[in-house]
Structure 1
Amino acid sequence: MTQKWDIVIVGGGLAGYIAANYLSKTNLSILIVEKGKQVGGRARTNKMDQQYLNLGPHALYKKGKAKSILEELGINLHGKSPKLSGILMEDNMEYAAPLAPFELFTTSLLNGKERIEWVSVLLKLMNTDPEKLAELTLQQWVKQTAHSKKVESLLYILGRLATYCHAPEMVSAKVIVANMKNAMGGVLYLDGGWQTIIDQLHNKASLSGVEVKSPTLVKQMKPAQQDHLKLVLSNDEEILAKYVICTTGPHELNEMLVETEQNHFFSKITPVRGATLDVALTKLPNPKRLFAMGITDPLYYSVHSPYARLSDDPKNAVLHVFKYHHPNDTHDRAIVKNELEEFLDQLQPGWQQYVITRRFIPNIIVNQRLPLIGDEQKLQRSKTEIPGLYIAGDWASPHSILADGAVSSGKQAAAEIILNEERKDSANYERRLPTI
């Protein structure tokens, strides 16, 4: 028999579980369909040799939407904030990163005039209304804001750090600057990794009656009779749903839809990608070096374990080395791996003799949408043109990306379904009222 559900959520990641938790407060039947063996999506944390490795570097904005919504749902977030001090590197030269007050006034990267300009630009950044930058690329905004090349470079570094985006000539200044402001408010590295968020959301949803079906892939989705959507699964099983929230990437969603229902905008969306080297060591050869970024090379390095419990042995070190990919570039796996290892060699000479476990992922999707100017007009609501179909995910929010985009769009999709149900109940109640 074809199963019927009030709501089917495609994808058991952050957006899907946020939506499920809000919807679980209703009397609607809810099913999450997850293609992987393990739920969580890119918020998964793998336990490898007693070490907890996120899929690349993950940080939660302390002033972002995701943190406030997770706390609203009663999710416990344990961890600490990393220090702002670190190193910037260029041509084998090292400079103190001018992100904290002491380094700002002592770094040899900037001369006196550039130092004053950088302070002025940071103040301007914090007082900028991102809404007024809707028609600008990040590059255009940087050119308007900074005068010296050094300060321009620092803004691009901060943009990469806050968003993983390495295409200033393409991306929306509105979205990137909003994230830069959030990043300046500090981040949290989470004890046990981001899997702790997923586990709590999963447990709360399960206790409220939400069911999870995995590993199961949705092959096709199309409108059916009686205001339902029909989902065809990988085993050819069919499911009917009044509402579907799709939290997959836009290209996956388009592949599920029959040709007449496909969205041209979805097919044009470009993901944000990078390469990550996730490493656990018995010790750091140089324990004082905890954070570094390249000035012209789009490279990142951070040791997360001093601020979050990421190993069963507190003496171990868990770190991430990352390369931000430009969307137009092609990448040779061996060359990228060598770049990341060489960057780590510079910062932690001899690290290889202390390796407990390591993992290299050459082309990981960090966010499903590179945020471009005008995207928000095409993503105004989570409801699509197909009746009953809603979207959520890190790409589906008009104003946010990364975890903030995933979490806020998951909440919005749930809110719109709840509001629609309330309207239906109100209309049915009015129809039942006796006429006088």
Structure 2
Amino acid sequence: MEREKDTFDVVVVGGGLAGLVAAVTAVNAGSSVALLDARSFGGRGRSVNRDGFILNEGGHALYRCGGGWDVLTSLGVQPHGVTPNAGSYRVLWHGEVAPLPTTAKGILTTRLLGVRSKAKFAGWFNDMAGTAHKAGDVSLDQWMDDQGTRPDLRTMLTALGRLVTYGARPGDMPASAVLGQFALGGGVAYLHGGWQSIVDDLTDRARAAGVALFDHTTATGLTHDRDGWTVATPDHTIAGGSVVLASGGPHVAVNLLGDDPADWVERAGPALRASCLDVGGTRGDLDFLQGTDTPMYLSQHAPTSHTAPDGQWLYSVMRYLAPDDDSSADENRAALERHAAIAGLPTGDDRTLERFLAACTVTWGSPQVGVARPTGMELADRGLFAAGDWIGKPLLADASLVSGATAGAAAAKRAMVTV
């Protein structure tokens, strides 16, 4: 019996943030578009509602000036959220809680840095974009060595590097990438209703524009001939003049292709993971606590954002995991609870919600020294494009959103040329 076959100008495989943006971008450009995902749409942009608490599955904050915000607004999606109060930021500095310097004045007055380190840090801070541009293709650790960075400032930059990259070892990453994250203006926003608010808006726009939506539909293979591409699923096939691969990381894309002609796996770099604990209940003593000697993070998300019932507080606690970290789930949980206790988070009956994720994926790739990140355009001459958080210059969710828009526009243009 011959399987059912549908034909579209563009087929997008993967309905996370990158795939949703690619689909909406392509359909807005005049292409007929199919979007399929093995689960419900949203990827790690999904959020779950547990007893009135909105828990994000992936990233918790969106940079206002990282590129992704502009992509969303260009599609008519207006993110609604609040920038947390940096004045409440604290750092765990060699076991002592102290204010985290986040402004020029804070750098000059902090007691965590010596006079020479303050002067050097202030100089970088005044032109961080220029500092990042001049850093060259060396690791952050090497760059700090070259700059004669003293131990106190090295500790501070490493802690801040974890904060802006979600990487346990920012010192291994290109200095230009880490410093470039510092240079992003506007801060971040904690989104009202969580990332699900963005997912729902993008999905509604895709549906209204005529995108054929196939959720809970797994792509099992991808073949190419002179007529274009065919995406196989368990119960039917979908043909397209162009295909955007936006499902998971480079390994998923390569598995569907059957080979790796663009060296995506090697060029994408190691995936980043984290162990996470969400805590809901009464207010803790601290709203934000970044570790220095330990790769720990804690931030209050509600009531800053509308992600908890009235009168309740919601905190995110995280341990950054290095690629070779083999800590057990119990060890990770204990580390998270210790960090939560330092911040005075609720326990016992005062804790009305908790969710523990032993090792979740933060991003499917990370920048590497001496290696050009994939652009997603390497196989454009075949009508194949890639999008995701392992693609392009931006990092984290910005990479997904920007690469999704780029791939969607290129796929639609290619489909029109080959019609």
- Tell me the TM-score normalised to structure 1 length: 0.88
1:49-128 map, 5 Å: 49-55=51-57, 58-85=60-87, 86-100=89-103, 103-128=106-131
Match of 2:402 in 1: 408
CA distance in 2, matches of 1:381, 1:165: 22
Q: Which stretch of structure 1 is more off in the superposition, 165-174 or 262-271?
A: 262-271
SS for the counterpart of 1:320 is strand
C-alpha distance 368-349 of structure 1, shift in aligned 2 (>3 A): closer
CA contact (8 A) 1:273 1:367 kept: yes
Q: Does 1:384 align with 2:383?
A: no
2:293 aligned partner, one-letter code? T
SS for the counterpart of 2:170 is coil
CA distance in 2, matches of 1:158, 1:318: 23
The runs of 5 or more residues in structure 1 that have no matched partner are 426-436
Match of 1:273 in 2: 273
Tell me the matched-pair count: 413
C-alpha distance 265-383 of structure 1, shift in aligned 2 (>3 A): closer
Q: Does 1:10 align with 2:13?
A: yes
1:26-425 map, 5 Å: 26-36=29-39, 38-55=40-57, 58-85=60-87, 86-100=89-103, 103-130=106-133, 132-145=134-147, 147-182=149-184, 185-224=186-225, 226-233=226-233, 235-248=234-247, 249-259=249-259, 263-266=262-265, 269-281=269-281, 283-286=282-285, 289-313=286-310, 315-348=311-344, 350-376=346-372, 379-384=374-379, 387-397=382-392, 399-421=393-415, 423-424=417-418
% identical equivalent positions: 27
1:124 offset after TM fit, Å?
4.4
CA contact (8 A) 2:170 2:178 kept: no
Per-residue Cα deviation, 1:278-319 (whole angstroms, up to 9, x for no partner): 1221x1142xx1111111201000001142111232x11111
C-alpha distance 324-309 of structure 1, shift in aligned 2 (>3 A): same
CA distance in 2, matches of 1:26, 1:125: 37
CA distance in 2, matches of 1:76, 1:88: 32
2:56 aligned partner, one-letter code? N
C-alpha distance 220-382 of structure 1, shift in aligned 2 (>3 A): same
CA contact (8 A) 1:138 1:172 kept: yes
CA distance in 1, matches of 2:416, 2:220: 31
CA contact (8 A) 1:90 1:297 kept: no
Larger radius of gyration: 1
CA distance in 1, matches of 2:411, 2:295: 41
The runs of 5 or more residues in structure 2 that have no matched partner are none
1:116 offset after TM fit, Å?
3.1
- Tell me the TM-score normalised to structure 2 length: 0.92
1:166 offset after TM fit, Å?
2.1
CA contact (8 A) 2:10 2:415 kept: no
Please provide the CA RMSD for this pair: 2.2
CA contact (8 A) 2:276 2:318 kept: yes
